[in-house]
Amino acid sequence: MQQQPPTSPDVSSAAKSPLFQSSTQYRNWRFSVEQLKATRAALNQASVAAIRNTFESDSPGSSSDVHFLDANEEHLLVKLYIIKISQLCGHFRFPEEVEATGITYLKRFYLKNTVMDWHPKNVMLTALYLATKTTNHPISLESYTANIPRTNASDVLDLEFLVAQSLAFEFAVWHAHRALWGIWLDIQDLPQAPPHEELQRIHDTAMQHIRTSRLTDVELIYPPSQIALACLSLAHPEIAAFWARSKNADTALEAIESIKRTITRDGDTPSVDVVREIDRHLKICKNPEKVVGSKAYLAKRAREEKEAELKRKKKAENVRKATEQGNPFGEVLVGQANLDDDD
Amino acid sequence: MDAVEKANAERQRRWVKDQKVGEGTYAVVYRGRELATGRKIAIKKIKVGQFKDGLDMSAVREVKYLRELQHPNIIELLDVFSSKTNLNLVLEFLDTDLEMIIKDRSLVFLPADIKSWMAMTFRGLEFCHRNFILHRDLKPNNLLIASDGQLKIADFGLARDAADPGYKMTCQVITRWYRPPELLFGCRYYSTAVDIWSVGCIFAELMLRIPYLPGESDMDQLKTIFRALGTPTDEEWPGHTKLPDYVSVGQFPRTPLRDLFTAASGDTLNLLSKCIIFEPRKRISARDALYHPYFFALPYPTHPSKLPKTAAQTAAASRPPDEVDGNVDPGGGAPAGVGKAAPPKKLKRKLSGHDLSRNIARKLDFTAS
């Protein structure tokens, strides 16, 4: 038996890089401002081209007067539904974690999908329902839909897989409000800490800025700790500076200036009239393949059916062949026959 | 169109299911391979359609945590894809688990072997706890063993983030024999210490080669614990009599661990005793356990590649690696290379089938409690 020298307990290399840096959020969901813009533009263009194609193949020339949404219009519509998530969460009294996660899911979803395929109304419901589960606050689907007017179970469940796929099944999200909580606990230990009531007020104001920040793209660009510090700085710049210095993180104070600017600039609620106009356009330019009962929808379904039929036939044929050929490997084929073939 | 669905289909094509190797309450496990490389993998297919609330919580938990955790002693989630109403988790393929190794009476464990398994368990667990994740179902059969001997913590279906202070968590977690007394008393505010208790039980089981505290019901579990370790006094564990489901199950005297673990060294018993302290706040943390003198004393831990292996493992390992790779049939027919490999495969299948029935029995047991 070979022996090794005592390895120093392996808290080693991984301990050196912060936990956040191994998260899926750090690795897969951070973008530069330009990347975000380019991603959305490319997605919009590809979607418009595909939908235009569907229109044309249905009846040539029919897409010429259609006003397709551009990336900005899509973005504004999504923003409106971010606000709806907050309203729903208030109604259900969901914890902050659920609300923040649902909003993140909605934003991430529309980095992979277009509103012209999937209207944010249902995606919003699904994203929020999924968030209740991933943050460990599950409620039954029945009580969820019972409390939302004109919504049934399939509105939520039909898209659950698509949403989960779009998120690449990366459900864990690091939130700025958690980081703010940590900073707030730290501050109470600083010699410069103001009296408790004032500190509470500062925290509450900073929390408001965090909620505002959820309407913006900052969580797709900056780490949660910087967003939290920016929001604290918006609430009380001196305290934020004290804290940063106590952590020897003066450089962070420069970094958060652009976050503060973005929150102030983009944190407004979109005008209802503008969004209503977008939604009106959307009724016309949405992908007909996604409209249940439409000609294009039925055509697509028929195509899929045919493919599935072919696949099933092929599978059945394989099984038949294998049986006919006899069975050189005994049990192995028995095992194969047991494979449930529902996919 | 539907870039997301296309991406999913592409992912799906990367992996091939070969053979069903097990079926649990909510998932079917297949052995398979990566199409391009022939690398062995396991696919855990979770049936989703049957749940009226959509994606099931165990699946959500498992995917959520395995997506984040990357560590040599935690099972690797290679990919996730969906097929119709099923969720498929592509996991690294692992030959066996610690329960099978413990039960293989032909194997002899040296103290250095046990130390090696314990070190790997604590490393994986320390990483979970460092990420504020409670596993909540540690037991030998969730500690899988790779062909190179590395131990990997698996099955995160009951895992969750440690709750903030003041927020309740369910106490209906952890398989009974590995469940700490605070959960048996209905404690709803608990910590990473619950996993440490489980590791203590596994540690003892490695030495005894039978489960250390096999209670027959929740009530009997408490009795079994107290019979082994003595009934805790209020001094040892302040406040435990005020826990929600506290019941007195009788007074048992404390017997020294030494009486049962006659061959163990002082360091060994010291670490074991710190894992199974009644008062959860005094139980050792995974990090401190890694710094415990036990791991620095002779004999040093056995290198993972030299650890005892089951017959199935040895047979699998004796196959030249290129034989496995070279004989892969991309058409997806009967697994090729059956010639030499057949006996170990049969053995493996028999073992997993056996293992499976035991799992189910234990699971039923667990829910009935």
- Mean pLDDT (whole number) for B175-189: 96
What is the predicted pLDDT for the residue at A293? 64
Q: Which range among A223-237, A329-343, B353-367 shows the weakest confidence by mean pLDDT?
A: B353-367
- pLDDT-derived band at B318 (thresholds 50, 70, 90) equals low
- pLDDT-derived band at A339 (thresholds 50, 70, 90) equals very low
Name B343's Cβ contacts closer than 8 Å, sequence gap at least 6.
Answer: B315
Closest CA–CA distance from residue B316 to any residue of chain A (Å): 17
Is pLDDT above 70 for A310? Answer: yes
- What share of chain A has pLDDT > 70, as a percent? 89
Task: Fill in the amino acid letter for A235.
Answer: A
Nearest by CB to B161, from A10, A23, A136: name it.
A136
Give which of B180, B191, B192 is closest to B221, Cα–Cα: B180
Q: Which range among A109-118, A314-323, B119-128, B276-285 shows the weakest confidence by mean pLDDT?
A: A314-323
Closest CA–CA distance from residue B221 to any residue of chain A (Å): 28
- pLDDT-derived band at B344 (thresholds 50, 70, 90) equals very low
Chain A positions touching B335 (Cβ under 8 A) are 332
Residue B342 CA to its chain's centroid (Å): 28
Q: Which range among A186-195, A299-308, B335-344 shows the weakest confidence by mean pLDDT?
A: B335-344
Winning range, highest mean pLDDT, from A36-45, A240-249, A277-286, B39-48? A36-45
- pLDDT-derived band at B96 (thresholds 50, 70, 90) equals very high
- The C-alpha atoms of residue A293 and residue A282 are separated, in whole angstroms, by 18
What is the predicted pLDDT for the residue at B302? 95
Task: Return the SS3 of B10.
Answer: helix
List, for residues A214-234, the tens digit of each pLDDT value: 999 999 999 999 999 999 999
Q: CA-CA-CA-CA torsion for A90, A96, A97, A99, nearest 10 degrees? A: 40
- Mean pLDDT (whole number) for B297-323: 78
Nearest by CB to A169, from B67, B85, B287: name it.
B67
Q: Which range among A200-204, B193-197, B202-206, B308-312 shows the weakest confidence by mean pLDDT?
A: B308-312
Chain A positions touching B306 (Cβ under 8 A) are 1-2
A141 and B CB contact within 8 Å: yes
What is the predicted pLDDT for the residue at B343? 34
A130 and B CB contact within 8 Å: yes
Buried b (16+ CB within 10 A) or exposed e, B269-288: bebbebbbbbbbeebbbbbe
- Residues of B identified as active-site: 137
Widest distance between CA atoms in chain B? 71
Closest CA–CA distance from residue A54 to any residue of chain B (Å): 10
List, for residues A152-184, the tens digit of each pLDDT value: 888 888 899 899 999 999 999 999 999 999 999
What is the predicted pLDDT for the residue at B317? 60
Q: Which range among A14-18, A236-240, A254-258, B347-351 shows the weakest confidence by mean pLDDT?
A: B347-351
Is pLDDT above 50 for B185? Answer: yes
Is pLDDT above 70 for A72? Answer: yes
Is pLDDT above 50 for A24? Answer: yes
- pLDDT-derived band at B367 (thresholds 50, 70, 90) equals very low
- The C-alpha atoms of residue A230 and residue A236 are separated, in whole angstroms, by 10
What is the predicted pLDDT for the residue at A304? 79
What is the predicted pLDDT for the residue at A302? 80
Identify whether the C-beta of residue B178 lies closer than 8 Å to the C-beta of residue B189: no
Distances (CA, A) of B353 to A126, A195, B101, B119, B141: 38, 65, 16, 29, 14
What is the predicted pLDDT for the residue at A16? 59
Is pLDDT above 60 for A7? Answer: no
**Architecture of the domain spanning B1-93:** 2-Layer Sandwich (3.30)
Strand partners, B15: B34
Intrachain domains A30-172+270-290 and A176-266 with the same fold? yes
Between B331 and B114, the more confident residue is: B114
- pLDDT-derived band at B319 (thresholds 50, 70, 90) equals low
- Mean pLDDT (whole number) for A120-138: 94
Identify whether the C-beta of residue B61 lies closer than 8 Å to the C-beta of residue B356: no
Please measure the distance between the N-terminal and C-terminal CA atoms of chain B and give it in whole angstroms.
50
What is the predicted pLDDT for the residue at B342? 33
Chain A positions touching B130 (Cβ under 8 A) are 11, 15, 19
Element (H, E) at B152: strand B151-153
- The C-alpha atoms of residue A164 and residue A178 are separated, in whole angstroms, by 23
What is the predicted pLDDT for the residue at B330? 38
Identify whether the C-beta of residue A249 lies closer than 8 Å to the C-beta of residue A230: no
List, for residues B65-78, the tens digit of each pLDDT value: 999 999 999 999 99
Identify whether the C-beta of residue A131 lies closer than 8 Å to the C-beta of residue A85: no
- Mean pLDDT (whole number) for A231-258: 91
- pLDDT-derived band at B166 (thresholds 50, 70, 90) equals confident
Q: Which range among A77-86, A113-122, A276-285, B140-149 shows the weakest confidence by mean pLDDT?
A: A276-285
Determine, for residues B300 and A4 on separate chains, whether the beta-carbon distance falls below 8 Å: yes
Residue extents of the structural domains in chain B: 1-93, 96-305
What is the fold of A30-172+270-290?
Cyclin A; domain 1 (1.10.472)
Task: Return the SS3 of A274.
Answer: helix
What is the predicted pLDDT for the residue at B280? 97
Determine, for residues A134 and B60 on separate chains, whether the beta-carbon distance falls below 8 Å: yes
What is the predicted pLDDT for the residue at A330? 47
Give which of A280, A300, A296 is closest to A288, Cα–Cα: A296
**Architecture of the domain spanning A176-266:** Orthogonal Bundle (1.10)
Is pLDDT above 90 for A91? Answer: yes
What is the predicted pLDDT for the residue at A336? 45
- Mean pLDDT (whole number) for B81-106: 90
Task: Fill in the amino acid letter for B133.
Answer: I
What is the predicted pLDDT for the residue at B346? 33
The A residues from 156 to 185 touching B (CB cutoff 8 Å) are: 156-157, 160-162, 164-166, 168-172
Residue extents of the structural domains in chain A: 30-172+270-290, 176-266, 292-324
Mean pLDDT, chain B, integer: 84
Mean pLDDT, chain A, integer: 86
Is pLDDT above 50 for B336? Answer: no
- Mean pLDDT (whole number) for B260-275: 95
Is pLDDT above 60 for B25? Answer: yes
- Mean pLDDT (whole number) for A63-78: 87
What is the predicted pLDDT for the residue at A289? 79
- What share of chain B has pLDDT > 70, as a percent? 84
Nearest by CB to A172, from B64, B70, B300: name it.
B64
Question: Which stretches of A141-290 are DSSP H helices?
Answer: 141-146, 153-157, 160-166, 176-187, 196-213, 218-221, 224-235, 237-246, 250-266, 272-285
How is residue A171 annotated by DSSP? -
B65 and A CB contact within 8 Å: yes
- pLDDT-derived band at B49 (thresholds 50, 70, 90) equals low
Superfamily grouping for domain B96-305: Transferase(Phosphotransferase) domain 1 (1.10.510.10)
- Mean pLDDT (whole number) for A179-191: 92
Q: Kindly identify which residue of chain A lies nearest to residue B132, measuring between CA atoms.
A: A19
